[in-house]
Amino acid sequence: MREIFYSHAIREAIAEEMERDPSVFMLGEDIAEYGGAFKVTQGLSDRFGKERIRNTPISENSFVGVATGAALLGFRPIVDIMFQDFITLAMDQITNHATKIHYMYGGQMKVPLVIRTPAGGGRCYGPTHSQSLEAWFMHIPGLKVAAPATAYDAKGMLKSAIRDDNPVVFVESKLLYGQKGPVPEEEYLVPLGEARVIREGEDVTLIAYSRMTVESEKAARVLEQEGISCEVLDLRTLAPLDMGKVSDSVVKTGRAVIVEEGCLTNGVGAEVSARITESCFDYLNAPIRRVAALDVPVPCADSLERAALPDAGKIVTTVRRLLEQYS
């Protein structure tokens, strides 16, 4: 199977859905001629024209509102938020409009809207361009949150998101854009709401999503050399959570370490931990552990950023200590 970049997989998904469905269009800052801040949409305006790949003013609240209106009129807009940090400017449109209309009109209206947003640190962009805010959106009923870790999932999940009749926040790690992975040329979809075990193990379950899935795999390979068998579970979708697969894995291993790039307090890991406690507490052989970013703004200096963010080394250390205490 061919291997392509994560960013190219996203571009392919957009192009294929625009070819398939004329109601699909994009809008965002510098996405046409410039190709977006990370060049994900490069070449799409030449192929589909500027009416379907639309540059917008620097006004996230305005163009997310426009996209919500377009979705209500039967279009399937894809919004490009240049950095996830900027999505805060459109919180009213997302939380009080796009996600509520279906319910307010008794299911008579639908809002098929995708909001793509690069997230996370690792590029020394500093506190206002490096945040991981996906936990905020898990709290909003009516909103789906997807966070793929591989090029294969990025393409298949984005296609599913575009075809979904609900608003979807589609989280893309900046550091994954340059990662390659196998992606078939034929048509395929990856359903939203389904987690996946990407590595079988017996001693501990590493639960992660997006870039932290990659870091968890690295940690699992290191720990394997020490005789520690880690099962790695990629959540893939944060809302809805696939707690069936999470519970199955934790019951099997008896231990869970949850890894996320967002801040520790009130993060994705806190919700997953609570649900594990509710569903399979009696099967736990050790307390649940979380590996996450420190509760500080993401630093700009490389050494400080690395100190603040989670990585494979911190996962390895956490697993070692857990097994030393509870083996």
Residues with catalytic roles: 60, 129
Residue where the block lists tokens 């080394």: 313
Contact (CB, 8 A) for 218 and 283: no
Cis before residue 240, ω within 30 degrees of 0?
Answer: yes
Angle between helices 312-325 and 211-224 (to 10 degrees): 50
Q: How many CB atoms lie within 10 A of CB 3?
A: 11
Q: Distance (Å, rounded) from C-alpha 142 to C-alpha 109? A: 13
Ramachandran bin of 39, using left for φ above 0, alpha for ψ from -120 to 50, beta for the remaining angles: left
Run of H or E including 231: strand 230-234
Q: Distance (Å, rounded) from C-alpha 103 to C-alpha 315? A: 41
Assign 322 to helix, strand or coil.
helix
Dihedral sign, Cα of residue 142, residue 41, residue 117, residue 272: positive
Q: Which two tokens stand for residue 272?
A: 């997953």
Dihedral sign, Cα of residue 307, residue 312, residue 317, residue 323: positive
Question: Partners of 289 in the beta sheet?
Answer: 257
Contact (CB, 8 A) for 112 and 120: no
Q: Distance (Å, rounded) from C-alpha 185 to C-alpha 204? A: 35
Assign 236 to helix, strand or coil.
coil
Q: Are strands 24-28 and 3-5 parallel, antiparallel or unpaired?
A: unpaired
